[in-house]
Structure 1
Amino acid sequence: MRLSLLCPLFCALLLSACATVPEGAGGALCTQAGGSSQLQAELLFGRDINGRGPVSDAERAGFMAEVVTPRFPDGLTTWDSRGQWRDAASGKTIQEDSFVIRIVAAATPETLTRLAQIRSAYTSQFHQDSVGLLFTPICASF
C-alpha cells in the first residue's frame, strides 16, 4: 500500500526535474514594449590595495578609458559604493570604498569574454583577490 502512494509522488518529482527554467525577461511583452532580451551585468570593484593607498580617481578613470570603454563602447553606468566582505584568513569583516559598473549587452559568448577580460585586468593591475560579477536577464529598450 505504501508503494502505491510513493510511486505517483516519485513520478511527479521525476517529471518536474525535466521542466525547463524560464529564460527570464523577454518574449512577447518585451517585444511589444519595443525592447529585446538582454543581459545586465554588474561588476563590483574594490578600491583598497594592500601596501599602498586605494585606487585613485585618476587610476579608475584610466582603467575605464583603456580597458572598459573599448570593450563596451555603446554605453554603461557607473557609481561609487561601499562594500564589505569577510577575510578568509582572519575571519574579520572588511569594509572598503568600491564602485560598480552596470553594462547591458547581448547575452553572447563575446560579451562574457569581454567581461572576463575586464575582471582579469583589474585584479592584475590593482592586486585584487577578485571582482564580483552579477548577471540578470532583462528586457531593455534604448
Structure 2
Amino acid sequence: MRRILFCTLLSAMLLAGCATVPQGSDAELCKQANSSKQLQAELLFGRDIHEREPVTDAERAKFMADVVTPLFPDGLTTWDTRGQWRDAASGKTIQEDSFVIRIVAAESAETMTRLSSIRSAYVAQFHQDAVGLLFSRVCASF
C-alpha cells in the first residue's frame, strides 16, 4: 500500500512539472487567457476605534453600501481577517480585527481617485490613522 501511494505521489509531482506557463509578454499572456491587463487593489481596514467599540458589521455594511459600492459598482471581493501593526508612540504591537476589499479595475487616474475617496471616507468616519493600500498588475477576465 505504501509503495502504491508513493508511486502515485511521485507520478503526480512529475506530471505537474510538465504543466508550464505559456511564454510571452504580459500582453500576450492576457490575450491567450482572453483577459485584459488590470490593476488589482487591496484595501486594508482596521476595525478598532479609539475610545469606543470596534466597527460593527452593520457599520461596515453601511459603509460598503454608501461609499464603496457606488464607486465600484461592477464588483469587488471582501473578507474578514486579523491584522497587526506597531504603534509608533508606544512601540507596542497592536492586533485588531480587520477586513480587506479587493478591487480589480482599469489602471487609470479615475480608479486612483475612487480608491483615495474610499480611504479618506473610512479614516474620517471611523477615526483611523490610515487605510492600507496594495497594488498589483494582473490579467483579469470576468
Normalising by structure 2, what TM-score?
A: 0.82
Q: Distance in 2 between matches of 1:83 and 1:57?
A: 17
Aligned position for 1:71: 71
Aligned position for 1:135: 135
Overall identity of the aligned pairs, in %: 76
Following superposition, the deviation at residue 134 of structure 1 comes to 0.1
CA contact (8 A) 1:67 1:118 kept: yes
Aligned position for 1:50: 50
C-alpha offsets along residues 69-108 of structure 1, whole Å, 9 cap, x if unaligned?
0000000000000000000000000000000000000000
C-alpha offsets along residues 40-70 of structure 1, whole Å, 9 cap, x if unaligned?
0000000000010000000000000000000
The AA in structure 2 aligned to 1:84 is Q
1:19-38 counterparts in 2 under 5 A? 26-38=26-38
The AA in structure 2 aligned to 1:38 is Q
Following superposition, the deviation at residue 119 of structure 1 comes to 0.0
Normalising by structure 1, what TM-score?
A: 0.82
CA contact (8 A) 1:78 1:99 kept: yes
1:99-110 counterparts in 2 under 5 A? 99-110=99-110
Following superposition, the deviation at residue 26 of structure 1 comes to 3.2
Q: Figure out how many residues of one structure are paired with residues of the other and give that number.
A: 118
CA contact (8 A) 1:86 1:94 kept: yes
Q: Distance in 2 between matches of 1:89 and 1:71?
A: 34
Aligned position for 1:98: 98
Aligned position for 1:125: 125
Give the gaps of 5 or more residues in structure 2.
Answer: 1-24
CA contact (8 A) 1:39 1:137 kept: yes
Q: Distance in 2 between matches of 1:51 and 1:28?
A: 52
Give the gaps of 5 or more residues in structure 1.
Answer: 1-24
Q: Distance in 2 between matches of 1:56 and 1:136?
A: 29
Superposed CA RMSD: 0.9
CA contact (8 A) 1:26 1:36 kept: no
SS in 2 for 1:67: helix
